[in-house]
Structure 1
Amino acid sequence: MLRTSVHIAILTLQLSQLAAATVPLNRSAAPTIKLDDGIFIGLNTGATNEFLGIPFAKPPVGDLRLRLPQANEPYHGIFNATVFGNRCISQDLTANIPSDTMNPTAVSVLSAVLQRFNSNEVESEDCLFVNVVVPANATGESKLPVVFWIYGSGFESGTSSAYNGSAVVQRSLELDTPVIYVSLNHRCVLSLGFPGGKEAKEAGIGNLGLRDQRLAMRWVQKYISTFGGDPAKVMIWGESAGASAVEMHMLANGGDNQGLFRSAFMHSVAVFPDDYSMDIGQAVFDQFVSDAGCADALGSVVVFDCLRALPIDAIRNATTPTPGVFGYTSLSIGWRPYADGVFVTTSPTQLVLDGSITDIPYVIGNAEDEATMFVLSATNITTDEELQAYLSDNAFAAFSMTGIDRILGLYSSDPTAGSPFDTGDANAITPEYKRMAAVLGDAFLQAPRRFLLRQRSGQQPSYAYLYSRFKSTPYLGAFHTSDDADIYGPGDLTDAIVRFAATLDPNGVLNVTWPRYTPDAPQMFRFLDGDVPFEVINDTFRENGIDALIELEAEVA
């Protein structure tokens, strides 16, 4: 019964997206677009035209594996743009789930969660593609705003085909505020997209996945006007790892956005509570290289020559055992963006403190119960002492034991105080489950959002939200990515996204005013279930705990 009820709650989100994705196609009137000397044949869905799987970079295969992305040559010939391009090589998120460290209830809940991440798509290193969805009546003179979507999945997995851009464009037409939707596939499996360690730093190949995204943004600048878009009105937009990538682009190159985007929309930005140096990734890189068969080349950039010569299955097999977001170490994943000293010069926390950030309007928000799904694999933690040791070994390894004790003193083990929040004694899988979900959700997601807003809301237009819908989902509450249903449903959040992309203000479509966030009035727009769908709240919940987390993270930045 438990597993069934969790399935129903999660499938509610999936079915809302499926309904939007099954718009009948009118293939008899295939649209075309000319880029350079190439003709791309897309497909028509009635109100929208889709051009899918357009290569924006040379395939990062062979000698181009583990190198900076290179722009495509000018297009020639005829291209089929009716299907998505290959999914990039991904880490198996269902692998390494440690059932021996999980409460039986947690096993059932996580099994339901992981069904959202299953995919039968073909994976390939040749995967750097963009997709463009436009109103069917758009012309080269339309100059429409552009939303540029970056998917999430922990810098470990993901694909653009999982998100129905036509639903967003269709909704924009209903709002009489048409936009163009662009998405991309980028190198997301961490061993190919985000190598860490001294070798990667010396080779200058940090943050390859972010560099892929940046190159796709340049593609937009070059070609989007042909589709009817305005290259001066691009909003970069993402969720989870995609939102973290958006923030990294705001912080990259000393805060110079190079004219690539004018606004940003971020759902659930995750920032890691450590110093962000590439050295942090050394141990995982060494293990990966050893498992792949290149251990003899460690310590020198020649290790990448060895890795480039391997069959892709060797890369995939060596990646699988590395720490994943649903594994025991939870959000302390093995590979992710680092301060490479070039594209991202130091930690996000320090860059924000230095004011090294693009001065553009932005929206940033969270689901209310961000970490519930991520702590299911560590439900063997049942005592205060075990939780202290777990945090010291994993998420808070950079903090002193005094700092960890300070945090635990501010987050009660009383289940009524934990996450899912405001659910009383319910949902307490173990005595520490809701407490651990509260601590990690605040440390990785809520505290970084509040920190950014405190530092920047007085300097640039800032808006914040809290997503509190689907609170009745057993054990998970308003879980991480639960706002997908309101984005690609589409729903109220879609309306705000479209308005913000077009006007730099989320207001105009919702019946409650969404205030700007300021240091003197730190207000958030809250999405709710029930008859009252919206309210405005002060961003002061769990203030003592989040303040302490911000202070500790700043100390190690």
Structure 2
Amino acid sequence: MAIDDQTYGTLLPRKLTACTIVLSLVLLYLFSTVVALQPIVKLDYASYRGVRLADGVTQWLGMRYTAAPVGDLRFAAPQDPATVRRIQAADKHGRICLATGDDPTNLLTSEDCLFIEVYAPSRASVKSRLPVYFFIHGGGFNSNANPNYNGRGLIAASDHEIVIVTFNYRLGPYGFLASRQIRESPTASLNNGLKDQRKALEWVQKYIHHFGGDPDHVVLGGDSAGAASIALHLTAFGGRNDGLFVGAAAESVSFATVLTPEESQYQYDTFVERLGCTSSPRDVHREDNTLACLRSKSAAELQTHNRNIPYPGARNPPLFMWNPVIDDDLIQNLSYAAFDSGSFIHVPVIFGDDTNGGTIFTPRTTSSSEQSSTFLHDQFPYLTNDHLRRIDDLYPNTGPRFPHSGSWWRQVSNAYGDIRYMCPTLFVSSALSRHGLQGNWNYRYNVEDPAQMDQGLGVPHTVELGAIWGPDNVHGAVPASYRAGESNAWIIPVMQGYWTSFIRALDPNVFRVEGSPLWEEFSTPTQDGGAEDKAQRRMLFDKSHTTRMEKVSTSTRARCRYFGEIGAAIRQ
């Protein structure tokens, strides 16, 4: 039966009093405040009081996600945090992890450093299930190159539709000490820095819904060693999918020299000797004595001797000595071999690199082919003389040259950037495509900052982070041209559009900024050549109105083909 307006009116209360209206409004307000995020978040081991900011973001800083890795937990796998009954303030960053070569008196760092931070839209609720961006910092596994990045810029760029997570993980010997003593100890563990990362991912799975996030939609992000970490998580446990993430965006994946615990023994033995922990002759078979001694030292004592030494057969210490090792468990193979064999998790990914990824690392005084080869061999000690001669052929010294710089500086920079960053990045994308991954994007970042160009740096390693996060949300040298009103300010909304679209939709195109070009997927040629016209096409972030898809050049493909051929031989 239809109900007309007059009949409908008889079904309403006879008197809609002011009291009834006020009560309804109160109930509506109470309902909304129950549903919306509150600054105090109650977890099962602690409660944290975050800060609601005026821009519509609530942040929780310095929350523990593991027990403090000190005392008997030094060199151990991460453990659950202790239960704390009182509400804890989450309004300040925790100290960052101790770095190799860092001053032992640096008050910004600590061995007690395993903290996690969350940024979420204040309007979200525990039922919002927003996509989560989980960022892994870089720094060569020896330092934190991206401490305390602020997620507010990315949240604003996503129309307040994502949650951001950042965190610390152990570095240097605290995270990557390896030897037979560590392998055999019932209380120590290998690759603890990576295990910290997985512990943080497990924390996200368990708790992120309290912050409005969706544990079933976690996207990894990371640069340099953070991008290397992404590669290692994609291939972890032989490519076993533990359901910790559904996509990944990696800026400048880094393939370093990877050893076994036995091959890393010289690092452990030198560290033990420096700290006066060498066993007496009668205790030579009691290997845990050295480990117990290392645990008895203060962090300041360890830092005093936390310095790099050369690889066996190399002349000088490498830039980054402490690295993940093949433990036959979490890491079962070299990265080149793992991706080549298809032993990886199939999830949508972005991989990319910068045009001049080597310039910030190589000695500016490099003035000869011999000095160039020495530097490369110091970083990759399994390079043979034949390898080095071939690299000389692939990288002729054609400049350009800059004042106060050696005549071979750009040559060694080009070679190092390709060996460590550009070619591994292209190899991963090629392997993913070859093994049938759907959702596979690659890029080259070539946005030139005038000051960096004048210095000879070109477009240096991970400079795109300032564009992805926004120049006000990162720390360090952000190009002045990225600031509002400057020549490269256009790149900020473009990069943020692609990245937040990928975080939200696992596709950089869905929510890209209007006018941005379509980002086509990467592909490799089929044996019959059927995909040759689209082979190795990537996005070129270049200049305003010239950013477009490009085909990887023949010369780059030739150089990277060689490094792919020798990648396993030089232990990458």
- Closer/same/farther in 2, CA of residues 81 and 161 from structure 1, 3 Å limit: farther
Quote the Cα distance in structure 2 between the aligned partners of 1:331 and 1:358.
Answer: 31
Instruction: List per-residue Cα deviations over 1:454-490 (Å, max 9, x = no partner).
Output: 1112321211111111353112111112112102216
Query: Paired residue for 2:396?
Result: 412
1:353 paired to 2:340: yes
Counterpart amino acid of residue 412 in structure 1: P
2:48 maps to which of 19, 40, 57: 40
Distance in 2 (CA, whole Å) between partners of 1:439 and 1:279 is: 29
Which whole-Å CA distance do the structure 2 matches of 1:381 and 1:346 have between them? 34
Amino acid at match of 1:165: G
Q: Does the CA-based 8 Å contact 2:40-2:48 persist in structure 1?
A: yes
Question: What percent of counterpart residues are identical?
Answer: 27
- Structure 1 position 31, deviation (Å): 1.9
Partner of 2:414: helix, strand, or coil? helix
Residue number in structure 2 paired with 1:24: none
Note the aligned Cα RMSD (angstroms).
Answer: 2.6
Deviation at 1:151, TM superposition (A): 0.8
- 1:513 alignment partner, one of 512, 518, 539: 518
Cross-structure match for 2:114: 128
Indicate which of 127, 132, 135 corresponds to 1:149: 135
Instruction: Return the offset for 1:323.
Output: 6.8
Shift of 1:353: 2.0
User: Which amino acid is the alignment partner of residue 298 of structure 2?
Assistant: P
Q: Point out where structure 2 has 5 or more consecutive residues left out of the alignment.
A: 1-36, 472-491, 526-533
Corresponding residue number in structure 1 for 2:457: 476
Map Cα deviations across residues 240-260 of structure 1 (whole Å, 9 max, x no partner). 111111111111112123111
| In structure 1, C-alpha distance between the alignment counterparts of 2:371 and 2:357, rounded to whole Å | 22
Q: Count residues in correspondence.
A: 487
Q: Which residue of 2 aligns with 1:241?
A: 225
Distance 2:157 2:302 in 1: 41
8 Å CA contact 1:264, 1:360 repeated in 2? yes
- Name whichever structure is richer in helix by fraction: 1
1:437 corresponds, among 392, 398, 413, to 413
Deviation of 1:286 after TM superposition, in Å, equals 2.0
Task: Label 1:92 to 1:396 Cα distance change in 2 as closer, same or farther (>3 A).
Answer: closer
Please show how residues 36-435 of structure 1 align to structure 2 within 5 Å.
36=44, 38-46=46-54, 47-74=56-83, 76-92=85-101, 122-158=108-144, 161-173=147-159, 178-188=161-171, 190-203=172-185, 205-272=189-256, 274=257, 276-296=259-279, 300-320=287-307, 322=309, 332-376=319-363, 379-392=364-377, 394-416=378-400, 425-426=401-402, 429-435=405-411
Cα separation, 1, equivalents of 2:101 and 2:290: 24
Distance 1:211 1:426, change over 3 A: same
Paired amino acid for 1:215? K
Q: SS state of the match for residue 496, structure 1?
A: helix
Q: What's the CA shift for 1:85?
A: 1.4
User: Any conservation in 1 of the 2:365–2:405 contact (CA below 8 Å)?
Assistant: no
Please report how far the alpha carbon of residue 211 of structure 1 lies from its aligned counterpart in structure 2 after TM superposition: 0.3
TM-score by length of 2: 0.80
1:211-257: CA deviations, max 9, x gaps? Answer: 00100100000001111111000001111111111111111112123
Alpha-carbon separation, structure 2, partners of 1:329 and 1:532: 45
Q: Distance in 2 between matches of 1:544 and 1:451?
A: 12
TM-score w.r.t. length of structure 1? 0.82
Deviations 1:68-115 (A, max 9, x none): 0112245532111111112111224699xxxxxxxxxxxxxxxxxxxx
Deviation at 1:410, TM superposition (A): 1.0
Structure 1: distance between partners of 2:289 and 2:498 = 49
Q: What is the alpha-carbon distance in structure 1 between the residues aligned to residue 547 and residue 273 of structure 2?
A: 52
Distance in 2 of aligned mates of 1:334 and 1:365: 24
Letter matched to residue 283 of structure 1: Y
Read off the aligned partner of 2:128 and give its amino acid letter.
S
* Superposed displacement of residue 121, structure 1: 5.1
Structure 2 match to 1:535: 548
- Candidates 497, 500, 514, aligned match of 1:498: 500
